Amino acid sequence: MTAPVNAELSASLQAARQDYAALLDKKLKLDLTRGKPSAQQVQLANAMLALPGEQYKAADGTDTRNYGGQQGLPELREIFGELLQVPASQLLAQGNSSLELMHDSIVFALMYPLPGGQRRWSNEERIAFICPVPGYDRHFTICERYGIEMIPVPMTADGPDMAEVERLVSTDPGIKGIWCVPKYSNPDGTTYSDETVRRLASMKTAAPDFRIFWDNAYAVHHLTDEEVQVADILTACADAGNPDRAFIYGSTSKITWAGAGVAFFGSSEANVKWLLHCTAARTIGPDKTNHLRHALFLKDADGVREHMRKHRELIQPKFDAVLNIFDQQLKGLATWSRPKGGYFITLNVPDGCAKEIVRKAAEAGIALTPAGSTHPYMDDPQDRVIRIAPTFPSLEDIEVAIAGVATCVRLVGYEKLAS
C-alpha cells in the first residue's frame, strides 16, 4: 500500500472528515447486506406465475399434483445436469433451497454413516471442516450449530491454498469435509483452477468418509462475455479413485425466484442412494409442480443461459458502479475483487479497520454485512474483509451507498494511518 505521508495525509484525513459529516447530513437508509436479486430480476421469471397452468402432467405423463417422484422431475434434472456437470440420473431436484440440502446432508451424516464411513459422524470424537476464507457465512452457521469445528484456510487466486488443505486432511481423521464455492465464490468471486479441482479430487484424506461440499451456487451467473468454466469435480473424483467424495449443490434461487426456486443435489450413485434413503423418512416427494413450471419456463440449458444474460444486463451496471467508485476513491488505501460473475465484491480495507468502517457506515444509514461474517466464528483475524452485495438496491442507491462506504473507508483508513 502506498500511504500518503504527513501534510498529504492530514489533508486527506480532513477531506474525509468533511465528507463524512456531509454523509451524516444525508440521513440515508440503504441496505447492502445480503445477496438478494432485485425486484427487476425476479420479475424476469414472471411468466412462471401462470405455469404450469392446465399442463400439469410431466413429459412421462406423471401427474405433478400428486405424491411421489422422490428424485424430482426428470426433464428439470436433464436441464440442470448439463449446467451442474452431473449426469441427470445422479442429480436430484428437491425443495426450494440448496442451503437446506447442505444442512440436511450434514445432519444426515451425523445420524447415518456415509458410504465409505465406519460410523455416523455423531459417534466420532471430533468433527472438523475446512473453511476457505473469506467464505459464506451460512456455511459457517451450519457447522457452528452442530458443533463442527471450523479450520480456516486462506483462499488464493486459484481457490483454497491446496498445500495447506492437503497437509491438514492427510493427517487429521477428524476433518470430514471442506466447503467449496467453486465458481465466482461468495464473497471474492474466485473460480477454482483445474489444478485445484484435480488436487481436491485426488488428495489423500485420513477420514474415509471425507466429503467436498461443492456449492455451485453461481454456476451460470456470469458478469462478462467470458463465461468461466470450472472443471468437472464428479468425474475428477471418479478418475482419482474417490467416486464418493463430492456432494454437489445448486439452485435456481438466483435464476428464477429466491426462496421459490428449485434446489439440486448431485453425487455418485452410492451417495444419491444414501441421501434418498435419508429423505424418504421425511417427505413423500418434492414439489413437482414447481419443478414442472421451471422446466416449462426455462426449456433447456440454453434457455437458462439466455435467461442469465438478462440478469447480467440488470446487475452488471451495479457492479461497474461499485468498481468505478472504488477505483476513483480508494486506490492505494484498499483493494477489492473484480468478479467475473456471482453476487459479491470483496473489499479489503487496511488491517484493523473493517469493523469500524461497518460501524461508521451504519451510523450514516448504510447497512453492510457485519465485518467478520466472511470468517468462521465471525473472526476475521486481520479485521480487514468487507463483503459488498450490489444486486438488490437500485443503481442510484448503489452509487449513493458505495460513495458513502468509500467515505467511511477513507475516514477510518486515514485515521488509522495518522494514529
Question: H or E stretch including 6?
Answer: helix 6-25
Residues 316 and 314: their CA atoms lie apart, in Å, by 6
Q: Give me the DSSP letters along 84-137.
A: HTS-GGGEEE-SS-HHHHHHHHHHHHHHSPPTT-SS-GGGSS--EEEEEES--H
Contact present, 80 and 93 (Cβ < 8 Å): yes
Identity at 118, one-letter amino acid code: Q
Q: Based on CB atoms, which residue is closest to ligand PLP, 325 or 347? A: 347
Q: Based on CB atoms, which residue is closest to ligand PLP, 215 or 287? A: 215
Contacting positions for ligand PLP (CB under 6 A): 35, 97-99, 136, 181, 186, 215, 217, 251, 253, 258, 263
How many helices (H) and strands (E) the chain has is answered by: 13, 13
- Closest distance to ligand PLP from the beta carbon of 288 (Å): 18
Q: Which residue has the cell 456437470?
A: 85
- Closest distance to ligand PLP from the beta carbon of 155 (Å): 13
- Closest distance to ligand PLP from the beta carbon of 202 (Å): 24
Spatial CA neighbour of 404 closest among 356, 364, 352: 364
Contact present, 64 and 58 (Cβ < 8 Å): yes
Q: Based on CB atoms, which residue is closest to ligand PLP, 134 or 243? A: 134
- Closest distance to ligand PLP from the beta carbon of 252 (Å): 8
Q: Based on CB atoms, which residue is closest to ligand PLP, 248 or 353? A: 248
- Closest distance to ligand PLP from the beta carbon of 257 (Å): 10
Q: Based on CB atoms, which residue is closest to ligand PLP, 263 or 358? A: 263
Spatial CA neighbour of 315 closest among 222, 187, 181, 216: 222
Beta pairing class for 385-388 and 345-348: antiparallel
- Closest distance to ligand PLP from the beta carbon of 207 (Å): 23
Q: Based on CB atoms, which residue is closest to ligand PLP, 344 or 414? A: 344
